[in-house]
Structure 1
């Protein structure tokens, strides 16, 4: 019998942990990376550099707050 593997990737904005919801776990990841610099792509800084400015700052917080339930 053939088996097929399926991998799901969350495309929900601000869902940093990939559990298909924006919740306290995402806030924790965001807080952990707060004021981090040197973000060079979407996979760096925990994905918390939403505006791709190279750092996690107030502009990213403004974006994250729009995702908060």
Structure 2
């Protein structure tokens, strides 16, 4: 239970870090579509990174639970 709580807080911390770093820097005026394309690419990269992190956390959690059962 304690490991799940730590994993939950770690995931939330990563989410906050990604959310704060996802802000677009000020840039020269460009077309609406260029901005949307770059924003969509960044959102997809962040989503994939979070999915990978979550999978690693769940795998580690399963390993710890298995180790504790033995």
TM-score w.r.t. the length of structure 2 is 0.31
Greater RCO (CA < 8 Å, at least 6 residues apart): 2
More helix per residue: 2
